[in-house]
Homo-oligomer: A and B are copies of this chain.
Amino acid sequence: MQLTSVRFGAELPAWVTAELDTVDPLLPDAESRMRLVHRLARRNHVEGTGGPFAAAVTDAATGEIISVGVNVVLASGLSSMHAEVVALCLAQAATGSWDLGGAGRPPVELTVNWRPCAMCYGATLWSGVGVLTVAGEGDEIEQLTGFDEGPMRDDWREQLEARGVRVRLDVLRAEAVDTFREYGERADVTVYNGGGRGRSPRSHADREGQ
């Protein structure tokens, strides 16, 4: 038989490049990295290019930006294209290696505006990042946006630490919640939903993912 598809890909929305033009290529601390992620997450839903989720991959020490990602599930037509997967793939494309923790490389940090969903949790583990910094964890995200994080382990953080990924929690948490609330209050959002039955974000969270 002949396969219909043998290749696929995804790209950042054009507005991301414009947004980055005004950003310092060195983000010295966790707060400055998270501030960029919050800007991208908010603009992603305002621009209509995806859900209110963004990520950045930086040198953990210097804060040099290696890549950024936003959720492009709708734009790419691919359900795996969450912000973390996009940022990690772009960082690996930029460095030319599937292993961001490779020998001789400085430790790399993934900054995300909430705890990764079940898929992105595993994607983070396989990427080679040395630090995961999140604005927060908890069910505010599901209550405010309707997005499901999927079945996570209660010891998700210990499991990452045991595999050499340092986890930093609660960096600019309130700003993350503000963006989720703003998104949740919108009546006009296109909700991507693994069930595909045009459900509203708040009433049907199953199989969506952040």
Contact = CB atoms under 8 A, between A and B. Distances in A.
> What is the predominant secondary structure among interface residues of chain A facing chain B?
loop
A14 to B, nearest CB: 9
Interface in A1-25: 1-12, 16-17, 20-21, 23-25
A194 B164 CA distance: 10
A94 B5 contact: yes
Interface stretch (A78-86, A136-144, A169-177): A78-86
Copies of this subunit:
2
Nearest to A77: B98
A28 interface: no
Contact of A127 (B2, B10, B79, B126): B79
Interface string A78-117: 1111000100111111101111111101000000000001
A73 interface: yes
A77 B101 contact: no
Given A79-B99, A98-B192, A122-B117, A89 B151 contact: no
16 contacts: A1-B25, A5-B91, A5-B93, A7-B10, A8-B90, A8-B92, A73-B98, A77-B92, A78-B89, A102-B196, A103-B196, A119-B122, A125-B207, A127-B194, A163-B206, A164-B207
